[in-house]
Structure 1
């Protein structure tokens, strides 16, 4: 019997949905706050979660990923009273199953549930995947587990794979793992560094050449595409592939045939393609710097690797593993690591990702010398500064929050209130105090309306300029103006 959790602050919505779900032989529970809903999802194995967006204690969209990774990793269906294209995009990118409006009929609201349950049944009945070979990839955080699921899917298929992510996130390691776990794992894994290909020699390096095909071609040579026959061709930094070569390579992907320079006949190569990039290929295609048809061919399967700052749970495992590896490589005793060392690592945002972490650990090992223990003192100055600054920020946090609350509450109508005005209106006539959340929400609403009114007056209702200044999308700006009741003054 399927278990469903409804997270919504409207009791009528919860009752209506629950009654329908019971008729469908589902067990239905309800929660009226985000905190309660997340706690229930972590404690019970739910199959599906209905999640409202506007909740008393926060925005439901911010909790989609946490809910998806909790308990039985349920599918999440967003239900909202006010549809928002920006919210729909965010929901789907966060992994939500669907995004529907509460105004829909009850049939429309349960149809996504039926499909999600069918998907989970079929997924559960599928043949169990064998254990992945991923010795070089360290980490077990929820975000990495999702990547491993995608890796397993890619390894079981022969479709092209596009791996995206920032520099230093381990894209080549994932490409190798896909190859090693696939039926082609016994064959060659050929790496093409597109950023390092000399434009004058790129065709020869990829497709090969015959003897005498050009000056200096004193013997025939197989290209990298030929070398990958039966195995995997890995195009690293594919966004750097010269535009002149993209059309030629597109044909190779389609036909698996090509003509080496100077050859009279075409040759074939049955390779599997895996590509990686840290660039935004969609934007490059829109700008005419990358072929759209080639992009379609590259990303039959897409795996996005998270930056290290989003997988802090893996820091300890990564650190210990690499320090042990360094000790073996350098022939020294394994060092102990003090708590302040790990604490400093956690306060840094790692713009260079895992690659930067490993470089830092090498520096720390060197700085530690013969010391049996590594301390924060052995880390680079930039990391120790980041830790000190963050600690000061947290120490001053309560005072800063109080100042922000006062500023928000005093800011009305686009101008600051007199200094003698109280920071908040005070308890009601009966002496009852509202919750802090209610005070903050009311203050934020006043500030948002005042900001939008002043902004639109400043730009004379030029939507393009308003979006550029505020950082909002056009749709987001229109929705906020409507919500706050800000209109052009006559």
Structure 2
């Protein structure tokens, strides 16, 4: 009974705008036509305890008449009026929305004792749009009530018209929720180029990037090793935004290629005669990206002067071309890429801290291919399709060749130092050499040898994966280890580097022998092995 009494005691409050035309007229015949604000109170089954009527001062006569009529048809309703200033132009969205927003922020909503409904028929379209936006954003915490007149041609039409409630909590609508989930899945699938990636961490990362790409115009910083896919992802983000109305172009530049006096000219443009060789004006990449997206890869390689100019362009949307005395404007969206730690670059004085703060709002770290081994198989299929498209003939692998390649590619000790560039190049080479594009075991084995050789580094004491044991252990200690043991130790270190924990590394290394043991303590077993060389798991993960 207490709960029922509380529900019945909730005050129902309607918030609406006085309609100068639709609610208009003070003549007796006003009762013969549909008036949205008054008619809403003529529905016997629809009761409101209070009306908050928003008006402008110059319409006070109509306001008082409408308030009087409401009290006549619904005596139990308290009518409160509020004067707002929409300015001279009722179609000025900024002014109308601002006035309604200020009123909503100042209104003492009591969500425990009152429930609110917002009427969206009266006023200009701009006023109705503003009310809708304020409800959607939560500044007006209520449901929308949309009213409309009955069909004019009906003889027995209801003067009260029709009404409908609109709840913007779309999660309550199963069909809409399903559609939104499908739309999001389509979007994230687009960002992944249709690749059915299996790595849970990477999939979560793409979900976040999808949300930011569609909701924020702020800079995005993509970090990760060379070949992790930063450039490819930046272009996919641009294409996604292009589908949602972005009007400009995709402009890409690797900042490592911008050196000396030409860097500022390439980015910001120059005027004729500003330096020797400047025979005509040059717009620069920032102006080419106006209205579009600028991708600055390896932004850590940009000079300090250019960093300062870029910061101004991001904050003010203006910059000075080389040799110019008047600033030019460009409204672009920035995606920056880097394979180095910009925080460390700030400490060393190589990167401006204020610029890092500006581009660090949305930072996403792309994992290396060696950290996504479960995604190698779907990426292999993607690369085969890509090669088929570029070479003009079908590229595929027989079953045995595929198994052989994936066994090598997914092994914990396969370093993939060039990440997806290595995978891309490997598939291209195998497909090119394969008879009629059908990759056999012969091409796979040849490619495995080629990849292993490419990952070796001159002067290294290692026999596997590019690890320099002399650097890790010291020249003297390394010289005391037999070559056979060096190869084994390199393999163990590579497994440790690709594992999330020492337990994971132990399970991978002792997967066969552990089945024969009644008690398997893989972590302890690995720890003791590493200790023989004065190493531990943390030291092995250092690169």
Which interval holds the TM-score relative to the shorter structure?
Answer: 0.5 to 0.7
Kindly indicate whether residue 438 of structure 2 is the aligned counterpart of residue 377 of structure 1.
Answer: no
Deviates more, 1:361-370 or 1:242-251: 361-370
For the 8 Å contact 2:299–2:338, the answer to whether it is kept is: yes
Kindly indicate whether residue 367 of structure 2 is the aligned counterpart of residue 367 of structure 1.
Answer: no
- Kindly state the Cα deviation for residue 195 of structure 1 after the two structures are TM-superposed: 0.4
Aligned pairs for 1:447-458 (under 5 A) are none
Larger Rg: 2
Deviations 1:110-163 (A, max 9, x none): xxxxxxxxxxxx997897554323364634222221121122122121011000
Kindly indicate whether residue 409 of structure 2 is the aligned counterpart of residue 345 of structure 1.
Answer: yes
- Kindly state the Cα deviation for residue 351 of structure 1 after the two structures are TM-superposed: 1.4
Structure 1 gap ranges (5+): 1-121, 406-434, 456-468, 474-490
Check 1:143–1:270 CA distance in 2 against 1; reply closer, same or farther (3 A cut).
same
- Kindly state the Cα deviation for residue 296 of structure 1 after the two structures are TM-superposed: 0.7
For the 8 Å contact 1:180–1:186, the answer to whether it is kept is: no
Deviations 1:215-254 (A, max 9, x none): 2222111011111111111111001001232122212211
For 1:266, the equivalent position in structure 2 comes to 327
Q: Secondary structure at the match of 2:191?
A: coil
For 1:325, the equivalent position in structure 2 comes to 386
For the 8 Å contact 1:341–1:374, the answer to whether it is kept is: no
Distance 2:519 2:434 in 1: 48
For 1:301, the equivalent position in structure 2 comes to 362
- Kindly state the Cα deviation for residue 264 of structure 1 after the two structures are TM-superposed: 2.6
For 1:175, the equivalent position in structure 2 comes to 234
Q: Secondary structure at the match of 1:340?
A: helix
Check 1:135–1:395 CA distance in 2 against 1; reply closer, same or farther (3 A cut).
closer
For the 8 Å contact 1:344–1:383, the answer to whether it is kept is: no
Which of 148, 170, 173 is 2:206 aligned to? 148
Distance 2:297 2:313 in 1: 17
Check 1:280–1:162 CA distance in 2 against 1; reply closer, same or farther (3 A cut).
same
Check 1:332–1:293 CA distance in 2 against 1; reply closer, same or farther (3 A cut).
same
- Kindly state the Cα deviation for residue 377 of structure 1 after the two structures are TM-superposed: 2.4
User: Considering only aligned residues, what root-mean-square deviation do their CA atoms show, in Å?
Assistant: 3.9
Check 1:185–1:343 CA distance in 2 against 1; reply closer, same or farther (3 A cut).
farther
Distance 2:213 2:391 in 1: 35
For the 8 Å contact 1:168–1:353, the answer to whether it is kept is: yes
Check 1:378–1:327 CA distance in 2 against 1; reply closer, same or farther (3 A cut).
farther
For the 8 Å contact 2:431–2:439, the answer to whether it is kept is: no
Q: Secondary structure at the match of 2:335?
A: strand
Q: Secondary structure at the match of 2:259?
A: coil
Distance 1:401 1:363 in 2: 39
For 2:519, the equivalent position in structure 1 comes to 436
Check 1:371–1:256 CA distance in 2 against 1; reply closer, same or farther (3 A cut).
closer
For the 8 Å contact 1:166–1:307, the answer to whether it is kept is: yes
Deviations 1:49-96 (A, max 9, x none): xxxxxxxxxxxxxxxxxxxxxxxxxxxxxxxxxxxxxxxxxxxxxxxx
Kindly indicate whether residue 283 of structure 2 is the aligned counterpart of residue 217 of structure 1.
Answer: no
Q: Secondary structure at the match of 1:356?
A: helix
Distance 1:398 1:240 in 2: 44
Kindly indicate whether residue 225 of structure 2 is the aligned counterpart of residue 166 of structure 1.
Answer: yes
Kindly indicate whether residue 292 of structure 2 is the aligned counterpart of residue 231 of structure 1.
Answer: yes
TM-score, length-normalised on structure 1? 0.54
Structure 2 gap ranges (5+): 1-168, 454-463, 466-486, 496-506
Distance 2:202 2:255 in 1: 27
Distance 1:227 1:440 in 2: 57
Deviations 1:279-338 (A, max 9, x none): 111111122211111111111111111111121222111112212321332233433332
TM-score, length-normalised on structure 2? 0.49
- Kindly state the Cα deviation for residue 384 of structure 1 after the two structures are TM-superposed: 7.3
For the 8 Å contact 2:291–2:331, the answer to whether it is kept is: yes
